[in-house]
A and B are shown apart, each in its own frame.
Chain A
């Protein structure tokens, strides 16, 4: 009797294990079909285009590829892109931390409005983001007429002598970029800080720490991986933004072209090798971002264990 029981158990177990999770028992062909569809999709829509960028870039050899980077207009576009990122990322870093801190740790009137407003740049089309700045700062816009040099009765002598250009100039590009990358850091931090609560901060305060010490010694270490992740995404978007920047830039070669805009110009001039060579730079930035992102996630998970 006992023998037969053990034998049925012994025969039953392996089949149960092979069947996988408790409920789902799909026949093998279903799994094959699904995996094939998924792989085909990823292959044709993600891997293939990425490969195409590099193949096109090297079509006329390594020499032609590197030739593309010696073009002064290209170098100026690269510089402008870096400059924009260097301004936009820290600006949104400071803003994002401040906003997330307010929203996660305090209750105040208009909190939900602020939370909604932070998402605005995600919700509107980048072209509209650009147009907003043209409407506000453009020559026919609200403030535009007062920014150039001229005789404006409300402002002082010094201001009237300045010829401030925002649209079709670097400040406009920076402003538009700051606008579109506005939500990344804040969005990343708010749920994280809400989940962590404020008890650790309160504990630090009862132990005699000042607000500043509490922020640097308790809050920042707790959010550092989320912060880093937000900054990576923010940077990727700041360097890759096309729509909003395109509207405010004016496409002046060597002056107001960022890398994505420069690629478009090169492409429209049938200079495919150069266009793809510059694209490959942005593609590598994307790959680097993904690599850093996985690294951060891995570290954050390790830290949480």
Chain B
């Protein structure tokens, strides 16, 4: 089922959490809401779930063309997984998963054996069959997360919403579980939206990434699109490392096309560290002259910290280890930098 968010605004007193946000999530996709804390991503998720209501008079929420703006959370057919799982602490794993079925009215409630069947199927799906009688506090973080997921799926939701699903887990479990979630999503093929502040996580598993900042959506696109063609300086900086070079200094260095637009607008050119080429310094040759300050050679890529000779501004460059070896760079060497690819933005951007 597709989800459509149409011009939604949300304020808490003086504070604006969402400012005219519109978004369409295609059916069956895994979508990430990515942004720093305070960007409004969790608020948006809670509004989609019906746990929070948008401001009076602002836009509508539609599920598959059906307006659900005024529908209560319990009737929207959404599964919601909370950041800290919110498992019912006094109920066993089995009872937690069965809860959504047990609270149904007489007519819609499945029989006892049907409930048991469905719970066991879900336990199998999340690989926790042997833990049915445990209490939540007898489970590890990753296991609790999977119980919360099974509980949300028990009511057969049309949309699955996850708030920072891996936020409370340690790094190793995080990686395992997010790969598992991706495979899981491919298996059940349910429209899924998850909130995260971890760009690596979003880029790795999502079909589509929605980048939010300061109550607004900055960009929507596939992981590759948002990484390769960031729509704003914010997105550029939020997704991985970036060098901000002043277009003026490039003119002085004789590098062609520091685009006119860049000179006119904020005057900056944004370049990823791996889009800079390092060549030995030859006087009078084209390029930005810089001094090598540090060489970090641990790992598959070597990271160089350099300082521009003219402006004394720092530049970060990533090159292959083999390239570093052939250049034979040392601390204090002079080099020329050439940009393979860079980008400028017109208009005012706050970063």
Contact = CB atoms under 8 A, between A and B. Distances in A.
Contact of B82 (A199, A208, A305): A199
A217 B95 CA distance: 11
Interface string A197-219: 00110111111111001000110
B74 A206 contact: yes
Given A202-B51, A303-B90, A305-B137, A208 B84 contact: no
Interface in B74-90: 74-75, 78-80, 82, 84, 86-90
Contacts of B75: 208
Given A202-B51, A202-B82, A305-B137, A207 B151 contact: yes
Contact of B99 (A202, A207, A210): A207
Contact of A200 (B49, B79, B88): B88
B99 A204 contact: yes
Interface in B100-154: 100, 103-104, 137, 151-152, 154
Contacts of A217: 88, 99, 103
Q: Which of B73, B75, B90, B151 has the most CB of A within 10 A?
A: B90
B103 A213 contact: yes
B155 interface: yes
A206 B73 contact: yes
Interface string A214-255: 000110011000000000000000000000000000000000
Interface in B162-217: none
A199 B103 contact: no
- What size tier do the contact residues of chain B reach? 20 to 34
Interface string B51-77: 100000000000000000000111100
B103 A221 contact: no
Given A207-B99, A208-B75, A209-B74, A218 B88 contact: yes
Nearest to A303: B90
B103 A208 contact: yes
A206 B49 contact: yes
Nearest to A202: B51
B89 A208 contact: no
A202 B86 contact: yes
B74 A205 contact: yes
B90 A207 contact: no
Interface string A282-304: 00000000000000000000011
Contacts of B51: 202, 205-206
A46 B199 CA distance: 63
A30 B274 CA distance: 69
A305 B49 CA distance: 32
Contact of B86 (A203, A209, A221): A203
B120 to A, nearest CB: 18
A207 B100 contact: yes
Contacts of A200: 86-89
Contacts of B137: 304-305
A206 B161 CA distance: 11
A207 B101 CA distance: 8
A203 B82 contact: yes
B89 to A, nearest CB: 7
Nearest to A213: B103
B74 A208 contact: yes
A206 B73 CA distance: 5
Nearest to A224: B90
Contacts of A221: 88, 90
Contacts of B155: 207-208
A207 B82 CA distance: 12
A199 B49 CA distance: 13
A34 B66 CA distance: 74
A160 to B, nearest CB: 49
A217 B51 CA distance: 19
Contacts of B49: 206
A202 to B, nearest CB: 6
A200 to B, nearest CB: 5
A205 B88 CA distance: 12
A206 B137 CA distance: 22
Contacts of B78: 206
Given A202-B51, A218-B88, A221-B90, A208 B104 contact: yes
Given A208-B100, A218-B88, A303-B90, A203 B74 contact: no
A304 B88 CA distance: 13
Interface of B: 49-51, 72-75, 78-80, 82, 84, 86-90, 99-100, 103-104, 137, 151-152, 154-155
Given A200-B86, A203-B87, 8 more contacts: A199-B82, A200-B87, A202-B82, A203-B86, A205-B74, A207-B74, A208-B104, A222-B89
Interface of A: 199-200, 202-210, 213, 217-218, 221-222, 303-305
29 contacts: A199-B84, A200-B86, A200-B89, A202-B80, A202-B82, A203-B82, A204-B99, A204-B103, A205-B72, A205-B73, A206-B50, A206-B79, A206-B152, A207-B99, A207-B103, A207-B155, A208-B74, A208-B75, A209-B74, A209-B99, A209-B100, A213-B103, A217-B88, A217-B103, A218-B88, A221-B88, A221-B90, A222-B89, A304-B137
